[in-house]
């Protein structure tokens, strides 16, 4: 089946004029932790206002589950303007959120695969041409651009995914905090990998880590120490005041946000089912990090034992990782590769996720329980689960639903599936579906801003 189908942007808004705007959606999944949770409530009775059809998405890795960071368009919203990146025509387009009309368009010199970041009337984005761009949000004029490749190195053009791109594409999606934009360029350690912190006003480097392409004594499979390198592919995030760099199918890297210093790196484990693997997606809040569907505690001391010792081994800790982060839950996607990787919505106290049902779990505390045949879910019963202990989070509620949770806005969680979008009220112990709309297509991304719910689809439906 051809996946390159027309792409549709849907906007749901209340038919009445609201007095208070429901905030912005300034970066991918709302904030630096990629939590997808906004405090701003959307009005009740949302109605379809306008649609806009864009060219069919052209992801870099359409069949690689762990590298689908550009499976669809990833817009953001500032005020009454939406900024839509395009991996198809190498641009960022500004749309009026009231009408869907185009305000301006800026072209880069390569595909724009990641969501922009907005801040103080400016828009920042990265491109496969290897640059970080800063534009004026009101007219799209260029303020500055920062080359991800150090000045002393020469760039080269190559054919990448059918396009002419830099040998050092910027595939580490930008995140902005405290007036600093962080991004990464280069995906091949043998050629060079660079992680940057850039002053959002001036475009000058605050720091640059140029040593991520050769990491000695990094942890490989079975605890073997060997050299490796970062392969930045995915959206950078900030959790526990650390800069987290997703590395595609490898585990993510942790950097000191203030200095750029790389913490001890674990490349990851492949092969056997249940062993931790990487992907493009990270999200976190407090001491918790969600990655490749697994949930980690990234503040637990690395010398604390959570796993049983195997006979003849005194330090066997399969669920402990360098830097003191501990895998608490094993996702089904790390048991069966073809499953969809989880992208939960996270708040400081509750995590909302979709796994057979929509489930809310209490993040304020967990207990450790040994994995036995009695407490392993049925879909994992025949799979190898190497971590001897797992975390048990208190379940607050469960709603029978096959829909995927996308975002939280105020007290409502918004979920979607083929042909439908729903709002679920979470303000009481018993969740309740309070709104739904039928659509043509499957929601791929949602965002809440300007008193509107924006839904991005990647199917072949066209609404006019």
**What would the pLDDT profile of 370-429 be if each residue is shown by its tens digit?**
655 555 555 555 544 444 456 778 899 999 999 999 999 999 999 999 999 999 999 998
Q: What residues form DSSP beta bridges with 38? A: 409
Nearest to 413 by CA among 397, 424, 402, 400: 424
Q: Residue 450: what pLDDT? A: 95
Residue 110 backbone dihedrals phi, psi, to 5 degrees: -175, 170
Helices (H), 168-322: none
Between 331 and 69, the more confident residue is 69
What proportion of the chain, given as a percentage, has pLDDT over 90? 56
Look at 58-62, 253-257, 319-323 and tell me which has the smallest mean pLDDT: 319-323
271 band by pLDDT with thresholds 50, 70 and 90? very low
Q: What is the mean pLDDT of residues 86-101?
A: 94
Q: Where are the domains of the chain?
A: 7-457
Please, how many CA atoms are within 13 Å of residue 387, restricted to the half-sphere of its CB? 28
Q: Residue 9: what pLDDT? A: 57
**Residue-wise pLDDT tens digits, 218-240:** 666 555 666 678 999 999 999 98
Residues 6+ apart with CB under 8 A from 57: 4, 7, 70, 71, 72, 73, 87, 88, 458
Would you tell me which CATH number, out of the four given (2.130.10, 2.60.120, 1.10.287, 3.40.390), belongs to the domain 7-457?
2.130.10
Please, how many CA atoms are within 13 Å of residue 82, restricted to the half-sphere of its CB? 29
Between 292 and 17, the more confident residue is 292
Whether 21 has a pLDDT exceeding 50, the answer reads no
What mean pLDDT value characterizes the chain?
83
Look at 26-30, 51-55, 137-141, 149-153 and tell me which has the smallest mean pLDDT: 51-55
Residue 10 tokens, joined: 């849907």
Q: Residue 320: what pLDDT? A: 41
Whether 187 has a pLDDT exceeding 60, the answer reads yes
| SS3 state of residue 332 | helix
């Amino acid at each position: 089946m051809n996946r390159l189908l027309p792409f549709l942007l849907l906007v749901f808004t209340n038919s009445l004029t609201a007095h208070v705007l429901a905030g912005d959606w300034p970066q991918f999944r709302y904030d630096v932790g990629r939590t997808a949770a906004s405090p701003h409530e959307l009005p009740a009775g949302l109605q379809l206002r306008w649609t806009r059809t864009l060219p069919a998405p052209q992801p870099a890795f359409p069949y690689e589950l762990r590298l689908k960071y550009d499976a669809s368009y990833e817009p953001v919203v500032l005020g009454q303007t939406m900024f839509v990146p395009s991996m198809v025509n190498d641009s960022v387009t500004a749309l009026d959120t009231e009408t869907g009309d185009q305000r301006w368009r800026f072209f880069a010199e390569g595909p724009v695969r990641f969501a922009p970041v907005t801040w103080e009337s400016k828009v920042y984005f990265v491109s496969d041409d290897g640059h970080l761009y800063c534009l004026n949000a009101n007219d799209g004029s260029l303020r500055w651009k920062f080359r991800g490749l150090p000045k002393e190195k020469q760039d080269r053009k190559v054919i990448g995914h059918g396009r002419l791109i830099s040998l050092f594409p910027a595939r580490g999606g930008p995140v902005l905090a405290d007036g600093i934009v962080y991004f990464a360029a280069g995906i091949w350690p043998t050629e060079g990998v660079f992680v940057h912190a850039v002053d959002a006003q001036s475009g000058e480097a605050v720091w640059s880590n140029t040593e991520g392409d050769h990491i000695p004594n990094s942890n490989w499979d079975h605890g073997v120490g060997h050299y490796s390198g970062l392969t930045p592919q995915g959206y950078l995030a900030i959790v526990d005041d650390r800069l987290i760099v997703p590395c595609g199918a490898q585990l993510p890297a942790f950097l000191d946000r203030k200095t750029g210093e790389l913490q001890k790196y674990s490349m990851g484990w492949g092969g056997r089912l249940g062993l931790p693997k990487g992907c493009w997606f990270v999200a976190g809040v407090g001491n918790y990090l969600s990655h490749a569907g697994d949930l980690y505690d990234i503040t637990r001391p690395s010398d604390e034992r959570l796993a049983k010792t195997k006979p003849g081994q005194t330090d066997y800790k399969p669920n402990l990782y360098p830097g003191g982060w501990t895998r608490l839950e094993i996702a089904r996607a790390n048991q069966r590769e073809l499953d969809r990787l989880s992208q939960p919505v996270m708040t400081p106290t509750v995590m909302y996720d979709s796994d057979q049902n929509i489930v809310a779990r209490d993040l304020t505390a967990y207990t450790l329980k040994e994995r036995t045949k009695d407490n392993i879910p049925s879909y994992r019963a025949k799979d190898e689960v190497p971590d001897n202990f797992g975390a048990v989070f208190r379940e607050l509620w469960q709603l029978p639903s096959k829909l995927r949770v996308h975002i939280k806005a105020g007290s409502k969680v918004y979920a979607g599936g083929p042909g439908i979008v729903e709002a679920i009220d979470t303000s009481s112990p018993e969740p309740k579906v309070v709104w739904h709309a039928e659509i043509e297509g499957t929601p791929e991304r949602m965002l809440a801003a300007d008193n509107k719910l924006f839904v991005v689809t990647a199917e072949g439906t066209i609404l006019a």
